């Protein structure tokens, strides 16, 4: 680790000529794309718990938005001259494992996964979008504009908690487990992938976060999650 600036340099389109940056970018877009693809599949699965056709349709709509993100990320990977499936391959196991460990057993757990999971994913997109070139940044920020699913889930969870105080403890526990697993998995995935780590963390390139900044980002993600749980009246 060489000495790093306290604030990361801002990447431009010109950086796309740097093979190391392109490789890191393809890795980043690969893990995000696989996250969206599996996010699509699992939200659609979780819609099976929906108590009404109205709720099923709402979650189905959320799922199709995730697939739209997947398609745009896949197109960007293609534009960079890489194959989306090869780009996703290094990450499929970790993402699948997370979803397997975070499989909801009922409708409220499914809603919590949408609420807490999509929110923290959005926060991660926002943080990391500062570290990429402007065109990729725009693509990542577009994905943030669809927040209707998070609001829908929050509304349903608030109603459920208000009408039955007993669910609060169970949902607090579930939210903690979901996010604890997600954050430790994310750190491990990044640490294991040199291309991705090279993009996100400054190891001499003058771009990316220094190691302290990288740890601080996870602290911010955790704090924002805690605030969101408290907004539902749950202890995080």
Q: Which residues bind a copy of itself (CB under 8 A)?
A: 34, 37-38, 40-41, 44-45, 47-48, 52-54, 56-57, 60-61, 63-64, 67, 70, 74, 84-85, 88-89, 92
Tell me the residue length of the chain. Answer: 236
Give me the least distance between CB of 171 and a copy of itself, in Å please: 23
Which is nearer to a copy of itself, 50 or 221 (by Cβ)? Answer: 50
Which is nearer to a copy of itself, 53 or 163 (by Cβ)? Answer: 53
**CB under 8 Å to 223, separation ≥6 — which residues?**
none
Give me the least distance between CB of 206 and a copy of itself, in Å please: 34
Residue pair 189/196 in contact by the 8 Å Cβ criterion: yes
Give me the least distance between CB of 154 and a copy of itself, in Å please: 22
Residue pair 61/146 in contact by the 8 Å Cβ criterion: no
Most distant CA atoms of the chain, gap in Å: 57
Which is nearer to a copy of itself, 45 or 222 (by Cβ)? Answer: 45
Give me the least distance between CB of 160 and a copy of itself, in Å please: 20
Cα(94)–Cα(46) distance, rounded to whole angstroms? 20
Give me the least distance between CB of 223 and a copy of itself, in Å please: 33
What are residue 28's phi and psi, to 5 degrees?
-60, -50
Which is nearer to a copy of itself, 48 or 155 (by Cβ)? Answer: 48
Cα(188)–Cα(20) distance, rounded to whole angstroms? 20
Which is nearer to a copy of itself, 47 or 196 (by Cβ)? Answer: 47
Cα(45)–Cα(80) distance, rounded to whole angstroms? 32
């Amino acid at each position: 680790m060489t000495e790093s600036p306290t604030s990361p340099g801002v990447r431009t389109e010109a950086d796309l000529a740097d093979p190391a940056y392109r490789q890191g970018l393809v890795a980043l877009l690969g893990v995000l794309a696989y996250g969206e693809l599996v996010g699509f599949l699992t939200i659609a699965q979780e819609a099976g718990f929906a108590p009404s056709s109205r709720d099923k349709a709402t979650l189905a709509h959320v799922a199709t938005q995730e697939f739209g993100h997947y398609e745009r990320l896949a197109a960007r990977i293609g534009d960079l001259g890489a194959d989306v499936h090869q780009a996703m391959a290094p990450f499929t196991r970790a993402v699948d494992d997370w979803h397997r460990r975070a499989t909801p057993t009922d409708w409220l757990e499914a809603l919590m996964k949408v609420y807490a999971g999509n929110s923290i994913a959005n926060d991660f997109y926002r943080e990391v979008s500062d570290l990429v070139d402007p065109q990729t940044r725009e693509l990542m920020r577009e994905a943030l504009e669809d927040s209707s699913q998070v609001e829908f889930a929050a509304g349903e969870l608030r109603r459920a908690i208000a009408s039955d105080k007993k669910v609060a403890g169970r949902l607090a526990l579930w939210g903690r487990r979901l996010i604890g697993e997600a954050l430790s998995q994310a750190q491990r995935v990044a640490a294991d992938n040199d291309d991705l780590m090279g993009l996100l963390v400054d190891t001499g390139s003058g771009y990316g976060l220094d190691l302290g900044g990288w740890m601080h980002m996870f602290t911010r993600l955790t704090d924002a999650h805690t605030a969101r749980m408290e907004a539902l009246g749950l202890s995080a």
